Amino acid sequence: MADRPPPVLNQLLVEELYTSTAHRLHNYVARRVGATIADDIVAESFLILWRERAGQPCDADAARAWLFGVATNLVRRHARDEERRLRAGIRDHRAESPPEDDFDRATAELDSRALAGPLRRMLADLPTNQRDVLMLVAWGDLTPSMAAAALSIPEATARSRLHRARNRIKSSLNTYLKDRSHG
């Protein structure tokens, strides 16, 4: 959450913001912590906005970014659960039997589910600050500048974290695919 939020937000804008943002916010949070927890986090995010609306940005985009920041901070409270779920996905992926022939191997490679376990591990292995920016942009559908506002960090920092996160995922994915093709 921002240390000192900008000017006043009125009740009409809060209602419009709920109508235009709640679904997107829920989708973003659900991808991070699951739908049940997402319901609670979205509700709590709007409750915080309502309680503190006198201190929130009056610009809809800034308020929306602030809401995503609040939700991200609330998600951080659940970071251990997120980490456990991602790591559990790794175990589940390892438990699956490998394809038996080249055709099955090629089919599995094309199937996005085949990459789910490794991608979960790659996300889990990202530093939290990089993972937060990447997920706000990829799953929250925010621009890097909105992600920066959501996290109360400079835009250049958000762009740098996003760049590093993308490069780490790309490198890890390339290594994984290369290892699979040689193994």
* Residue 41 belongs to domain with CATH number: 1.20.140.160
Cα–Cα distance between 183 and 178 in angstroms, integer? 9
* Contact in structure between 109 and 180 (CB atoms under 8 Å): yes
State how many domains the chain has. Answer: 1
Amino acid found at 112: S
Look at residue 103 and tell me if it is in a domain. no
Per-residue pLDDT of the chain (183 residues; tens, 9 = 90+): 555 545 567 778 888 889 999 999 999 999 888 888 899 999 999 988 888 776 655 788 888 888 999 999 998 877 666 667 666 765 555 555 455 555 555 565 555 666 777 888 888 889 989 999 999 998 888 899 999 998 999 999 999 999 999 999 999 988 988 887 776
pLDDT, residue 141, reads: 87
Q: Which residue's structure tokens are 């991602």?
A: 86
DSSP string, 79-132: HHHHHHHHHHHHHHHHHSPPPSSHHHHHHHHHSGGGGHHHHHHHHHHS-HHHHH
Look at residue 55 and tell me if it is in a domain. yes
* Contact in structure between 121 and 175 (CB atoms under 8 Å): no
Query: Euclidean distance between the first and final Cα of the chain, in Å?
Result: 46
Q: Which residue's structure tokens are 């809809």?
A: 60
Cα–Cα distance between 176 and 98 in angstroms, integer? 15
pTM (predicted TM-score): 0.60
Residue 42 structural domain: 11-77+126-182
Nearest CA-CA partner of 64 in 108, 112, 16, 111: 16
* Contact in structure between 151 and 72 (CB atoms under 8 Å): yes
Look at residue 68 and tell me if it is in a domain. yes
Nearest CA-CA partner of 13 in 46, 57, 60: 60
Orientation of helix 116-125 relative to helix 155-182, angle to 10°: 140
Q: Which residues contact 17 (CB under 8 A, 6 or more apart)?
A: 49, 60, 63, 64, 67
Q: Which residue's structure tokens are 């890890």?
A: 172
pLDDT, residue 8, reads: 63
